[in-house]
Chain A
């Protein structure tokens, strides 16, 4: 059974940093693109970033470029999102999702709240 489990969310002050993790199991992690998608409270879905299997390609939405970094450790079956210079508008549930062009598996999400 495919499982994606996010962790690392929490309350952080504006300008602070947070690192999200996504632990994958039930499939060959190193064979798939992986993505982060977020959803602000009461709002729609927003794609954040994704990464190719070997890490050779990474893409970001403009609003996080230069602040967020996606990475992965295929030996640990894990995906990460390093978030720096956090802003109030980054407050959202962050989902880890498997895929590049569509997302057939999602984690349960981890809530990031940016507030003083």
Chain B
């Protein structure tokens, strides 16, 4: 199975900060990577697919990059509604696997 490792596991940031989350795959996955945002008690929300494609309706302050084994999710200017947990997910192989999550907290 492909292991997805996210870092950091948590980050404290202020409104307006630039936040970068990293996801590393245990083997190459091309661009088969998605990013999700999840708030407590809610279902995940798709932000980015195919490593860098912005899902419809998602603010442009979210961006994704990378290919192969190393990927990043960047929030260019953190907004109050962005405090949540973020997950990466690979779709190169079965089983699909998620990263362990990165919690973005208020500083």
Are A101 and B32 in contact (CB-based, < 8 A)?
Answer: yes
Which interface residue of A44, A102, A104 has the most chain B CB atoms within 10 A? A102
B34 within 8 A of partner (CB): yes
Chain A residue nearest to B38 in the complex (CB): A45
Number of interface residues of B (CB under 8 A): 23
B62 within 8 A of partner (CB): no
**Residue from B34, B43, B99 in contact with A108 in the complex, judged by beta carbons closer than 8 Å:** B43
Interface segment, A9-17, A22-30, A56-64, A72-80? Answer: A56-64
Q: How many A-B residue pairs have CB under 8 A?
A: 54
A105 nearest CB across to chain B (Å): 8
Are A50 and B43 in contact (CB-based, < 8 A)?
Answer: no
A32 within 8 A of partner (CB): no
A68 within 8 A of partner (CB): no
B66 nearest CB across to chain A (Å): 15
B94 nearest CB across to chain A (Å): 4
Interface residues on A, range: 20 to 34
Are A109 and B43 in contact (CB-based, < 8 A)?
Answer: yes
User: Considering the chains assembled together, what is the distance between the CA atoms of A100 and B97 in angstroms?
Assistant: 12
B59 within 8 A of partner (CB): no
Are A106 and B44 in contact (CB-based, < 8 A)?
Answer: yes
Tell me the residues in window 28-43 of chain B with beta carbons closer than 8 Å to chain A beta carbons: 32, 34, 36, 38, 43
User: Considering the chains assembled together, what is the distance between the CA atoms of A108 and B42 in angstroms?
Assistant: 7
Closest 6 interchain pairs by CB?
Answer: A101-B91, A106-B43, A47-B96, A102-B34, A102-B49, A45-B98
CB<8 Å pairs between A and B, sample of 23? A35-B96, A44-B98, A44-B99, A44-B100, A44-B101, A45-B38, A45-B89, A45-B98, A45-B101, A47-B89, A47-B96, A50-B96, A59-B95, A95-B44, A100-B91, A101-B32, A101-B34, A101-B49, A102-B49, A102-B89, A103-B36, A103-B89, A107-B43
